[in-house]
Amino acid sequence: MSDIPSANILYIEDDLGLAELVRIKLKREGYHVVHAESGCQGMTLLRDRNFDAVLIDFYLPDMNGLEVLKAIQALPRKTTCIMISGIDDMQLVVDAIKQGAEDFVLKDSEGAYLELLPTTLGKVLLKQRLIAEKAAAELEKNNNEAFYRSLIEHTHVVAWEYLPNAGRFSYVSSQAEKLTGHSREEWTSDGFWQASLHPEDYTKVSAFCASKTHIQDEQGLEFRLLKKDGNEIWLRQIVSVVETSAEHCTVLRGFLIDITESKQAMEKQRLAELVFDTIHEGIMITDTHNRIEVVNPAFTKITGYSFAEVRGQNPRIFGSGLQDANFYSALWQSLNEHGHWEGELWNRHKNGEMYAQSTSISYVHDEVGNIKRHIAVFGDVTEKKQAEEKIHYQANYDQLTALPNRQLFQDRLHSAVASAKRNHTQLALLFIDLDRFKEVNDSAGHEAGDRLLMQVAKRLNECIRETDTLARLGGDEFIVILNNLSSNHDIENIARSMLEVLERPFSLADGIDAAISASIGIAIYPADGEDGALLIRHADAAMYRVKETGRNGFEFFTAEMNREAGKRQQFKSAFKDSLEKGEFKVFFQPVWRLCDGKIMGVEALSRWQHPEWGMVMPDDFIPVAEESGFIHDLSLFVVKEVANQIQVWDEQAFNEISVAINLSPTQFRRLDDWLTQMHQVLSDHAISPHRIKLEITETALMGDTLKLMETLSHVQASGIGISLDDFETGFSSLSRISGMPLNFIKIDKSFVSQIGQQGQCNVIEAIISMSHSMDCQVIAEGIETEEQREYLKQLGCDFGQGFLCSRPVPAEDLLTLLQKGFLFD
Ligand code: C2E
Ligand code: CA
Ligand code: CA
C-alpha cells in the first residue's frame, strides 16, 4: 500500500534472521531497508543519513528501545519512530508512545506482525506526509499573505474595497495617499469619492458605480480625480471582485492605476498628430538616404502630390530647375555644418506650375549621433512673394497706365542727373500736360477719362527710346526723361512726334470719340537747372506758357517763364482777398438782334482791377481760378452783380434785357450746388429766370453724361436759357449736339474773323441752318466789321456781339448804350 516508494527505513534489530525476514518483506512492499544490529550502530547511521522512518526493536544488546528513542529525539532532525516489542512489554510501549514514538507493532510468536508491519509503516508514513504537507501549506499561507500585503503596499497600484450601498470606500492601500495626497481616512470617509472626482467625469463614474451589473472589465474605467493640491490625476479603475447578495452588489474590490503619464503622452501624441494633420505648413520626413518616409496633408495641398505618389522618392523630384547646383551644395553644406537650413526654394507643383516655398530643414539624430532623418517644414510663399512684388509695383508704378509713377520717376531722375553730371552729358525733361483733359473727364466721366489716359500713355511710349523714362505724375500730367542728348533738334523731334500721335482721335466708348492735344514744356540739364527739382519746375513753367499761348505745342524753358509761374502763384494767393476787397468787377458786352440792330441782351464778363498789377484780363486769371477752385466763388459773385444790375435796369425800364453768364467746365463737378445758390440769388432779387442765360462750352457736353443732360433740362425748364459757347466744328459736330438741351449756339469769333475768306461762308451757313432745325438761335461772336455784320445778317444769323457794337464795358457805360436802343438799322 505504500505510495511512498523508496522510503528509506532504518531497522534496528539484534536478531539477524528476523531482520532479514523483515527486510525481504518490506522490500517487496517497495521500501528500502537499512539494518543496524545495535542501538549505537543505529544512532551512527541516523546521524549520517536521512531516514523516513526508524523501526526500533525494544530489546537491544547495548541499550533499550526507550533509550534509543530518547537519543533520536535529541537529534536535530526529527524522524518518525515505530517501536517493535513483545506482548509482555505493553507498559513500555505506552511509555515509548509518550516519548514520541509514532506507533508500535507487537511481535507475536506466530510471525503475524510481519504482515502487520508494512500496514503500520504505511499508515505512519502517510500521516507524517500529511503533517508535512499541512505544515508546508501553513508556511506557504503565511508567506503568501505577507507577500501580497507587501506587494499591495509597495506597488504603484491602489488596491481598494468599495461598498456600493454606502457609496464609499471601506479600504484603500497606502498608495492612494501617495498618489493623491488625500489620506486614507479621507479616502474612506463619506462623500470623498463624489467630491474629488473631476467634474467632467462625474457622470461617467457615477453611472458605473450605480450600475447593477458590475462587469469585471479588463479595460477598466478611466477618469480623473482631483488631487489634494488641486491638480488632476488620471486613474484607471479595474474591478476584479464583485460580491453580491440576492440582487444587490455588496462589495467591489479592485485596483486603481495611475495612468496620468500615459494619458499625457497620448495627449501629446494626439496633439502632435493633430498638428501634423492640420498645420498649414507642409511637412516631409525623409530617411537616412533622403527617401521620403512621411508627408502630411498640407504637403499634398502645396505640392499636389499624394503620399502614395512620393513615398520612397528623393525630394529632388520637386526641383524647378530655377536654383542651380551651387545653391543646393550650399544648402547641404549648411545642413551638414549646423544641422539646419532655412531659406526659400522654388519648386514645381505636380501640375507643372512653379511656386516659392519658405523651407526649414533639420536633421534628426539617433542616440549615437548618426543622422536618422531629415525633417523639412515648408509653406507656400508664392502669394507672399507676389504680394511683395505687387506692393513694390504699386509703390513704383501707376496702376492705370502701368507707367513709372512720381516715386519711381524721382529715383530715375536723380540717377539720370547724377550720371549726366559724371559723364558731362545733357538730359532733357519734357513736362506734358493734356489740353482740356479735365473737361473730357468731367463731362464724359471718369471711366472715359481713364481710357483716354491709357491710350495716351501707350502712344507717348511709342515716341521714346528704351533708355528714356516716361512716367505719369498724376492726373493728366506726364513727364519724360531723355538721356544722352546730342542736340535740341532731337528733343524737338521727339516733342513734335508726341504732339502728332496725340492728334489722332481717341475712342473712349461706343460712339464716343475725343480729340485732345497736349502742351509740352522742356527743360534741359545743366542749362536750365542743375538738380531734378529745379528742372521739373522749369519744364512745368514752359508747359504753362504753351497753355497760355494756345496749347497744342511745346516750348523750351526761358527765364521769363519763371516769372510767369511766379505770377500764377501770386494770383492764387491773392484771389480771396481781392474778391472781398471788391477788386473784381463785372463788365457787360451788348448782344443785338441782327435784323434790326436792337440790343436784346448782354454778356457778363469778369475783370480784375488789381491795385498793383492793373486790369487783369480773364484769359489770364480764369485758368488759374479754375485750377485753384476759386472759379466757384467768382461766378457766384458774378451772379450777384448781374442780379443787382438787372434790378437797376428794370428801374430804368429796360426790363427785357437778358444777361449771359459764363460757366467754366470745371464748375460742372459742383453744378447742382452752384445752381441752387444761383436760384437763391435770383429769388432774393425777385428776378425771373427768363432773364438769365448760361454759357457753356462744347467739352462740357461731351460724352454720355446723362445726369448732366438731366440737370441742364431742369435748368432749361426753369426758364433759364442755355447757350453753347465758342462753337467750332473742329471739336464736335452739330449732329452730336442735336438733342441736347440748348437754346442758343454761339459761333466762335475765329469763324467770324474768317468771313470773306474762301470756304468759310458755306460752313457758317450750314451751322445756322442746322441750328435753326434744332430750334436753336444763333449768336455770332466777335463781329468787328460792317462786312461781317452784313454778311451774317444776310445768312439769317439771329444775334451779333462784338467790338463793332461795343467792347465789354462797366455797367454805368452800358446804360448809355441801352438808352440808344437800336444800334444798327
Ligand atoms: P468768351 O465767353 O468767348 O467771351 C467773349 C470774349 O471775346 C471776351 O473776352 C470779349 O471781350 C471778347 N470779344 C468780344 N467781342 C470781340 C471782338 O469783336 N473781337 C475780339 N477780338 N474779341 C471780342 P474777355 O472778356 O477777355 O473774356 C475772355 C474769356 O474769359 C471769355 O470768353 C470767357 O470764356 C472767360 N470769362 C470771362 N469772364 C468769365 C466769367 O465770369 N466766368 C467764366 N467762367 N469765364 C469768364
Ligand atoms: Ca532481541
Ligand atoms: Ca461767353
pLDDT tens digits, one per residue of 491-532 = 999 999 999 999 999 988 777 888 899 999 999 999 899 999
**Alpha-carbon torsion 167, 173, 177, 180, what sign?**
negative
- For residue range 538-553, list pLDDT tens digits in order: 999 999 889 888 889 9
Q: Which ligand is nearest to the CA of 56?
A: 2
From 575, 592, 662, the mutation candidate for ligand 1 (largest count of ligand atoms within 8 A of CB) is 662
Ligand 2 centroid from CA 60, angstroms? 6
Ligand 3 centroid from CA 363, angstroms? 84
**What is the average pLDDT across 309-322?**
90
Specify the DSSP element, H or E, that contains 158. strand 158-163
CA–CA dist 386, 390 (Å, integer): 6
Q: Which three-class secondary structure state does DSSP give residue 416?
A: helix
Residue 697 Cβ contacting ligand 1 at under 6 Å: no
Give the pLDDT score at 446.
87
Residue nearest to atom 43 of ligand 1 (CA): 662
Spatial CA neighbour of 435 closest among 489, 498, 482 = 498
CA–CA dist 211, 205 (Å, integer): 10
Residue 782 Cβ contacting ligand 1 at under 6 Å: yes
Specify the DSSP element, H or E, that contains 376. strand 371-380
Give the pLDDT score at 702.
62
Spell out which residues have Cβ within 5 A of ligand 2, the ion: 14, 59
A 10 A CB-CB count for 617 gives 11
> What residue type is assigned to position 735 of the chain?
S
Q: All 3 cell numbers of residue 97? A: 508512545
Residue 633 Cβ contacting ligand 1 at under 6 Å: no
Residue 788 Cβ contacting ligand 1 at under 6 Å: no
- For residue range 183-203, list pLDDT tens digits in order: 999 999 998 888 899 999 888
Residue 808 Cβ contacting ligand 1 at under 6 Å: yes
> In ligand 1, which atom is closest to the CA atom of 587?
25
Ligand 1 centroid from CA 648, angstroms? 23
Residue 615 Cβ contacting ligand 1 at under 6 Å: no
Give the pLDDT score at 661.
98
Residue nearest to atom 45 of ligand 1 (CA): 662
**What is the average pLDDT across 33-57?**
91
From residue 780, alpha-carbon distances to 83, 502, 765, 783 in Å are 172, 31, 12, 7
Q: Which three-class secondary structure state does DSSP give residue 783?
A: coil
Q: What is the CA radius of gyration of the chain?
A: 63
Q: Which three-class secondary structure state does DSSP give residue 261?
A: helix
Residue 806 Cβ contacting ligand 1 at under 6 Å: no
Residue 726 Cβ contacting ligand 1 at under 6 Å: yes
Residue 602 Cβ contacting ligand 1 at under 6 Å: no
- For residue range 463-482, list pLDDT tens digits in order: 999 889 999 998 999 999 99
**What is the average pLDDT across 587-602?**
96
Give the pLDDT score at 513.
84
> In ligand 1, which atom is closest to the CA atom of 618?
30
Q: How confident is the model at residue 110 (pLDDT cuts 50, 70, 90)?
A: confident
Ligand 3 centroid from CA 590, angstroms? 12
> In ligand 1, which atom is closest to the CA atom of 748?
3
Residue 728 Cβ contacting ligand 1 at under 6 Å: no
Residue nearest to atom 19 of ligand 1 (CA): 782
Spatial CA neighbour of 318 closest among 346, 348, 284 = 348
Residue 538 Cβ contacting ligand 1 at under 6 Å: no
Residue nearest to atom 17 of ligand 1 (CA): 782
> In ligand 1, which atom is closest to the CA atom of 726?
3
Ligand 3 centroid from CA 800, angstroms? 13
Residue 617 Cβ contacting ligand 1 at under 6 Å: yes
Ligand 2 centroid from CA 165, angstroms? 76
Ligand 1 centroid from CA 632, angstroms? 18
**What is the average pLDDT across 324-352?**
89
pLDDT surpasses 90 at 719: yes
Give the pLDDT score at 2.
43
Give the pLDDT score at 1.
43
Q: What are phi and psi of 596, to 5 degrees?
A: -125, 0
Ligand 2 centroid from CA 509, angstroms? 153
Task: Say whether the peptide bond before residue 526 is cis (omega within 30 degrees of 0).
Answer: yes
Ligand 3 centroid from CA 664, angstroms? 10
Give the pLDDT score at 119.
85
CA–CA dist 383, 390 (Å, integer): 10
- For residue range 195-231, list pLDDT tens digits in order: 899 999 888 887 777 665 655 555 678 899 999 999 9
Residue nearest to atom 10 of ligand 1 (CA): 808
All residues at 6 or more sequence positions from 574 whose CB lies less than 8 Å from its CB, including other chains = 610
> In ligand 1, which atom is closest to the CA atom of 631?
44
What is the overall mean pLDDT for the chain?
A: 88
Give the pLDDT score at 18.
85
Ligand 2 centroid from CA 123, angstroms? 25
pLDDT surpasses 70 at 572: yes
Q: Are 705 and 445 in contact (CB under 8 A)?
A: yes
Residue 148 Cβ contacting ligand 1 at under 6 Å: no
Residue 664 Cβ contacting ligand 1 at under 6 Å: yes
Residue nearest to atom 22 of ligand 1 (CA): 782
**What is the average pLDDT across 690-714?**
81
Q: Which ligand is nearest to the CA of 60?
A: 2
Ligand 3 centroid from CA 364, angstroms? 86
From residue 525, alpha-carbon distances to 104, 127, 522, 562, 641 in Å are 148, 135, 10, 16, 50
**What is the average pLDDT across 97-121?**
82
Residue 443 Cβ contacting ligand 1 at under 6 Å: no
Ligand 2 centroid from CA 103, angstroms? 19
User: Alpha helix locations (H) across 211-250?
Assistant: none
Ligand 2 centroid from CA 51, angstroms? 22
pLDDT-above-90 percentage for the chain: 49
From 605, 632, 787, the mutation candidate for ligand 1 (largest count of ligand atoms within 8 A of CB) is 605
Spatial CA neighbour of 249 closest among 213, 206, 217 = 213
What is the pTM assigned to this prediction?
Answer: 0.48
Q: Which ligand is nearest to the CA of 12?
A: 2
> In ligand 1, which atom is closest to the CA atom of 589?
14
Residue nearest to atom 11 of ligand 1 (CA): 808
